[in-house]
Each structure stands twice: as C-alpha cells, then as structure tokens.
Amino acid sequence: MKKNIAIIGSGFSSLSASCYLAKEGHNVSIYEKNDFIGGRARQFKKDGFTFDMGPSWYWMPDIFEKFFSDFGKSPSNYYELEKLSPAYKVFFSDDQVVIEDHLDKICVEFERIEKGSAIKLRKFIKKAQRNYDIAINKMVYKPGISPIELVSSDTVLRVNEFFKSISKSIRKLFKNPKLIAVLEFPVLFLGAKPQQTPSFYSFMNFADFGLGTWHPKGGMHQVISAMQKLAKELGVVINANSSVSKIHVQNKKTTGITCNDAFISADIVLSGADYHHAETLLDNQYKQYSESYWSKKTFAPSSLLFYVGFNKKIEKVEHHNLFFDTNFENHVNTIYDKPQWPKSPLFYANFPSISDETMAPSGYETGFFLIPIAPDLEDTSELREKYFNILINRLEEKTGQSLKNNILFKESFCVNDFKSEYNSYKGNAYGMANTLSQTAFLRPKLKSSKVKNLFFTGQLTVPGPGVPPALISGKLASELIINTLR
C-alpha cells in the first residue's frame, strides 16, 4: 500500500533513499532546510567559476554504476565521466610524487623512491583487491543490525586484519616515509587516523590505485543534479527552504514532522540530517543515544575550506594535489589526540579547471583548498586568514610562482558554517569515523529502537563517511523501510 514518507535533508543519502522508496510506489517528499539541494555536496558559482564546496574525489565508480543500474540507468545517462591522468600529485619537502592512472606506472614511481617496493606494492594491492571484493560484495550492503552479518568464510579467514592497524601493515612492507604517507592517505577518507583503522580497510588502497580517480564533467555536483533528476522522474517531491523542527511521536510511533512551523503528517519519517541533530528533534524519552554517547565517539575531522578564483593558470600542479610537505603525524595528532589548530598544516588543493574547462573562465583557475582540523575548534576570521596565508605561501614556495596578486576573490567555510548550515555535530565535515569500535553493527542504527516507523541514514550511521557510503546508506535505510511496510 502507498505510504507517505517524509525525508529530512537532501544530501546523497537522502536522495538515494528517496529514489528507492519512490520506485516502490510510495509518496516521497524531501524537506531540506537550505535553499539548495545536495547538503555537503553543494555547489558554489561566482563570476564564471564553479566550485564543489564539499566532495571532489570521485572514487569507487562501481558503486555509482550500481546505484543508477538499480533504476535501469547508468551515470552516462546523466553526466560525463573522465578518468584523471595523473590521478593526483603529492608534494613532500624534498620531492614530488605523481600517482598515475595505472598500477604499472605507480610501481615505477614507487621503485624510484624505494628499491624493491614495486613488487611489494603489487602484492599489497592484490590483497587490497580481495578485501575490496569482500567489503563491497559481502559487507557494506548490510544494515548493521547484528555482528552475524559480518561472519563469512572470507571474513573469518581475515579476522586478524580487523585487529591489526593499516598503519602497521603498511610499515611492515615499506620503509620510505613518503610511500607510507601515500599509502595511508586513502584511509583518511574513513575519518580516523591510520593507527586506528583496521588493516582490512586496505580496500581503500585498491579504490585508489586499482580503480582510479574520476571526474564528472562540471564537478561532483553533477552527481547530485543527476540524482535529483532521477528522484523527480520517480515522483519524489523535493522541498528546499524547509527546515524541520520536530519529529512527532504518538503511542511510540512517528506521526509526522513540523516543517516551517506547519505539521506534516507522515507514515514513515527518515532523517538524512546528521544523526545527532535528528535526535534533538525528538522528545527526550525517544532519543536512543545520550550526549555522553556522542561525546565519546571518534568523529571525522572538520575542515577549513577556501574557494578561490585565480586570474591566471597555475603551473606545476595537477587536478588533485596533496601538500604533505610537513610532519604528517604532528598534524594528525592535532585532529585526534590533542585537538588544536595545527602549527604546520597539511593541506589539499584542488584545481578542477586544469582538466575541465567548464569549471573556470578561459585562462583562469578554480582553486579549492582544504585543511583537515579537529571538530569544534575555535573558528574566527583571524584564524581563517592566518591559515590562508600559510597555505598560499606554501603553494607559492612549492610550485615556484607568485599567486597572491592573482586572486580575484576568496570565500571560506569552517566549523561555524558546518554547524549553522548543516546542523553538524561539533561542526564535523565527514560524519563519524570508521574505527574498529565504530564499524557496521557498532554504529548508530538505521532504524530507531524507540520509535516505530522512524529511520536514519547518512554518514553518522552505516556504512560511514563518503559519497559512495552515503549512496549505500540510503539504499539500506530504504530496504529496512520497505521490509517494515511488507
């Protein structure tokens, strides 16, 4: 029977869930507080420049294929995808490492840096590929209800990989600190430090070196536009400027939401807003997780972000660039161990107009910069300015060109914006980290244990942070809803 389903938020996870639920024939409406769709994957346009304000790395193309194929479509029905070559460049204090688009070429680069490392890399990536197959085919599409979901002959055989850190496994094989940093980088997407991330998550290294880095022409927001289009084709009603201030419960069952001060009746409520915030929309007796529960969790970093329009092309950089020219561990410790602004930050610089002329006016460059920082740090305009100067000086120095006088405009985004724009807990950027004690069935649940017909999706629940997991999270939540309604 057709049900009325209200979805809070319009990020990747909400859009994904909305498509599956509408395909089942339900009346699905999305309520988004902001005047734009896409949540953290929003777009910013100014004077002919286009910026992805959040995600910019398109990894795991198979997950996107899988999502669209569930609706008889393919990404190519909506956007043009290009494999980046090279995938990215890493700047170290004494060298630059270029990660090409094929393992053979990456092996040559590894061998240049550490003799004998190529053969070890091939072995490591072969194992990472097996882990990827297990993770994607047997683990991540599970709703995180019980530990039994994770038990299979494959995972039992690899149980030690869940209790050993990826950092240890990498260091056993490679000695050069640059190679170690390059191999530890992909698990940063999971939101925790490599010392806290199980070795099994080497599947992220296969995503990196095996599957490659892709770019949708026009930017990552094209994926949001594609999903929005698909959702509308399936009959989903998308309401922007629609802030939800209450989830109503009667007889332990949800009855609807208050949106812009009006009651909207719903048979099912699904929240794709940050989980912690969604629970604040409930009366206390219906909250599953206390403030002390959230405060003990390891959150993924927040970020200081800059969106910069340059009036010239920038040399000696690639589409994606990592500035690892300072001490990796010192910075990571300021995120997870002793939360504070880093003295000498690592940063990520993205110039999408290098490979996509649609992202900037001709002869100009679109620049996006990200410094990962601990959630809930003090955020002031003076601090933002201080770190912008550090970053632009380092960029000038490492690439040997002057840039400061070529800035047409710059905008920033940090902890305070994450809180006010997305109702993000402590201003986190990528949700709750995927550590061993915060994985699968140990994460906040997709289905409320206290309120019937109330569900959650997004980067604070299963499977975790990142765009591909958000697509999967929406699918998992919708499957639970569909099963509940049967």
Ligand X SMILES: Cc1cc2nc3c(=O)[nH]c(=O)nc-3n(C[C@H](O)[C@H](O)[C@H](O)COP(=O)(O)OP(=O)(O)OC[C@H]3O[C@@H](n4cnc5c(N)ncnc54)[C@H](O)[C@@H]3O)c2cc1C
Angle between helices 103-113 and 177-184 (to 10 degrees): 150
| Planar angle of CA 52, 58, 59, nearest 5 degrees | 155
For residue 170, count other CB atoms closer than 10 A to its CB. 21
Give the residue with the Cβ less far from ligand X, 12 or 455. Answer: 12
- To the nearest whole angstrom, how small is the minimum distance from the Cβ of residue 434 to ligand X? 11
Taking each helix axis from N to C end, the angle separating 166-173 and 117-134, rounded to the nearest 10 degrees, works out to 150
CB of 153 to ligand X, least distance (A): 30
Give the one residue of 3, 6, 7, 10 binding ligand X; rule: CB under 6 A: 10
Among 6, 7, 8, 440, contact with ligand X (rule: CB under 6 A):
8
Strand partners, 353: none
Site string for ligand X, 364-403 (x = CB under 6 A): ------x---------------------------------
Using CB under 6 A, which of 20, 351, 364, 430 touches ligand X? 430
- CA dihedral sign, ordered 176, 177, 179, 180: positive
Place of tokens 């569909």: 482
* Count of Cβ atoms closer than 10 Å to residue 316 Cβ: 13
| 204 is an interface residue for ligand X by CB under 6 A | no
Select 181 or 305, whichever has its Cβ closest to ligand X. Answer: 305
Tell me the window of 26-34, 208-216, 260-268, 306-314 that interacts with ligand X (CB under 6 A).
Answer: 26-34
User: What track of x and - describes contact with ligand X for positions 305 through 344 (by CB under 6 A)?
Assistant: x---------------------------------------
Q: Which is nearer to ligand X, 16 or 117 (CB)?
A: 16
CB of 186 to ligand X, least distance (A): 11
Q: Which two three-digit tokens encode residue 413?
A: 């985004």
* Token pair of 343 as six digits: 């003295």
Adjacent-strand bridge partners of 407: 310
Q: How far is the CB of 210 from ligand X (least distance, A)?
A: 16
Determine the interface stretch with ligand X among 67-75, 171-179, 225-233, 422-430 (rule: CB under 6 A). Answer: 422-430
3-state secondary structure of 395: helix
Q: Vertex 208, ends 205 and 212: CA angle to 5°?
A: 150
Cα separation, 429 vs 176, whole angstroms? 31
Going by DSSP bridges, is the β-strand pair 268-271/4-8 parallel, antiparallel, or unpaired?
Answer: parallel
The 272-291 contact track toward ligand X, x by CB under 6 A, reads xx---x--------------
Interface of this chain with ligand X, residues 48 to 77, rule: CB under 6 A: 54-57
Pairwise CA distance, residues 444 & 289, whole Å = 8
Q: Which residues contact ligand X by CB under 6 A?
A: 8-14, 31-34, 39-41, 54-57, 243-244, 272-273, 277, 303, 305, 370, 422-423, 429-431, 458-459, 465-467, 470
